[in-house]
Every structure is written in structure tokens, then in C-alpha cells.
A and B are shown apart, each in its own frame.
Chain A
Amino acid sequence: KAGVTQTPRYLIKTRGQQVTLSCSPISGHRSVSWYQQTPGQGLQFLFEYFSETQRNKGNFPGRFSGRQFSNSRSEMNVSTLELGDSALYLCASSLSRPQETQYFGPGTRLLVL
């Protein structure tokens, strides 16, 4: 069974640009959550999607957005990038909610210059 895949694995952008990250969950998983990981703030919840609907959102500015497609694949978008957005962005999938076994992908490492 294939695990959670995230693309791209590494990304370098400059301030003011926007970026789109992609996540393919484990087959059959319908809940996809996104997290930001930084050395200073640790792992922070961004948002969670189920059946193409955002069910919950963490405490991040509106520049962070996401969506989920009918095949459960998810994308997150960050507009007007800031230096502080440099982080590892992790996607996790589970059958129907985050409180079940969540499987994390390897992450996308974003560097904003």
C-alpha cells in the first residue's frame, strides 16, 4: 500500500511569490490534514479537509489556503510569501478524521528568500 506522497519535496521561492504544494493521501483515506513544522514553533495545525470540505482551520493568516479534490488529493497554497513561511509542510491522511491513525508524508521543505 503506497504511503502519503507530497510534491515537490523541496522548493525555493522569493518573498511576495505564491506557492502550491500537493498531497496524495493513502488510497481510501478521505481526511487530509496539513501542518507547518518550524524549529521555533514546532508542529502547527493548518487545516483539515474531508470530502472536499474544510472542516477545521488553525490559527494562520488568510494567505494560507487549501482545497481537496474528489479523489481526496489535496493542495495547499500560500500567497504573498514571507521569510517566516520557510518551513517543512507536512500532510497527513486518515480514514475519516485526524483522531484515527494519521499517516504523515515526508513533507515539502519550503525556503523563502
Chain B
Amino acid sequence: GENVEQHPSTLSVQEGDSAVIKCTYSDSASNYFPWYKQELGKGPQLIIDIRSNVGEKKDQRIAVTLNKTAKHFSLHITETQPEDSAVYFCAASIESGGGADGLTFGKGTHLIIQP
């Protein structure tokens, strides 16, 4: 089955700096890659996703890049703010016509924004 590795497990950055979280996946058939943010006491919230027909996607301060050949994808957060502090999870899945494969998650990155 799919295996997703996520690094680093903890990331501390100064407010205003950029943060980058990286993930690798093992199944070359995976074609859907979402990123989730989880705050304390809450369920994960989708912040951005990318499909394998696209190399990069941006949404304001957040961007995701995908390298299918190397089987890795990354989350980039620019101009970090205190409210960006949370645990971030990457995931991978196979999206097919009638398919409903579950998401395979990385172990998470605890992002700490230092004031």
C-alpha cells in the first residue's frame, strides 16, 4: 500500500519568514495530494490540494509543488503569522472514476511561529 513520509516533524520559524514542509510518497499511482491543518482540539481542515496533472498551485500565502518523477510534494507558507501555528499533515490518494480510496497521511509537522 501507499506510504507517506513527512519532514520535519517540528519546524520553528520567525514570524514573517517562510516555512516549507516536505512529503514523499511511494505509490506512483497516487494522483491526489491534499494538505491539512489541525489546531488543538479540532479536526483537520483542508488548506490546499493538488492533483498530478498540475505541478504547482497557489492560494494567497500558501503554495504546493509536486514532483511526480521524484514522488515528492511540498507545502510552502510565506509571510508566516502567529495563526499559522498548528500541526500540518500531507496525504496521498488515488482518485479514479468510481474509486474511493482513503487518504494515506504523513505523520505531521508541528509548525511553531515565533513572535
Contact = CB atoms under 8 A, between A and B. Distances in A.
Interface of A: 4, 31, 33, 35, 42-48, 50, 55-56, 58-59, 90, 92, 97-99, 101-107
Contact of B105 (A43, A56, A99): A43
Given A45-B104, A56-B102, A59-B1, A99 B43 contact: no
B7 to A, nearest CB: 14
Interface stretch (B20-28, B62-70, B71-79, B92-100): B92-100
Contacts of B46: 101-103
Contact of B101 (A35, A50, A98, A106): A98
A44 to B, nearest CB: 7
Contacts of B95: 97, 99
Q: Which 5 A-B pairs have the closest CB atoms?
A: A45-B102, A104-B43, A55-B100, A99-B95, A43-B105
A90 B89 CA distance: 14
Contacts of B93: 98-99
B115 interface: no
Contact of A107 (B43, B45, B102, B103): B43
B44 A43 contact: yes
A99 B41 contact: no
A4 B42 CA distance: 11
Contacts of A105: 43
Contacts of A103: 46
A35 B43 CA distance: 11
Nearest to B105: A43
A42 B93 CA distance: 16
B4 to A, nearest CB: 9
Most A C-beta atoms less than 10 A away, residue of B46, B49, B95, B102: B102
Given A102-B46, A104-B43, 11 more contacts: A4-B43, A33-B102, A43-B103, A55-B99, A56-B102, A90-B43, A97-B100, A99-B95, A101-B46, A104-B44, A106-B41
Contacts of A4: 43
A92 to B, nearest CB: 7
Contacts of B89: 42-43
A97 B104 CA distance: 15
